[in-house]
Amino acid sequence: MTHPLVTRLTAEFGYPALQTMGEAAAFTEAPGVHVVFVPGDAQRNLETPDVAVILPELWQAFQNRFDCAVASDAIEAELRDATGVFKTPSLIFYRDGACIGGIPKVRDWSDYVERITHFLALPVAAE
């Protein structure tokens, strides 16, 4: 069962709920920077609701420089395997379809800011 704070991301904030790897590819391959929230099992992982609250705050703090989506249970394992970001909850960052990094677990605000600033500053891959 999905935690209410994770459901809030799709219901209230309008983040896409990615149900298939095809949907994940379409979301992450669009131009720009994208974040996929991989919540994990909120029943076993007490950090999941915290990250669900933090993500919209990060989006706002970075003035909409990335868009956000939520991975469904059906694709979580495949996303983790594809990106090497195995711990949940996690935020996996993409630019133009390529994974540019991940932030697993709950972090201090300053750590989020430092890591996201770094991800956003990475050079765009040459075509």
pLDDT one-digit tens code per residue, 94-105:
999 999 999 999
Tell me the whole-structure pTM to 2 decimals: 0.94
Architecture, CATH, for domain 26-104: 3-Layer(aba) Sandwich (3.40)
Looking at residue 81, its amino acid is D
CA 109 to chain centre: 16
What is the rounded CA–CA span in Å between residue 26 and residue 107?
28
Domain residue spans in the chain? Answer: 26-104
Per-position pLDDT tens, the chain of length 127: 689 999 999 999 999 999 999 999 999 999 999 999 999 988 888 999 999 999 999 999 999 899 999 999 999 999 999 999 999 999 999 999 999 999 999 999 999 999 999 999 988 765 5
Q: What would you measure as the largest C-alpha separation in the chain, in angstroms?
A: 42
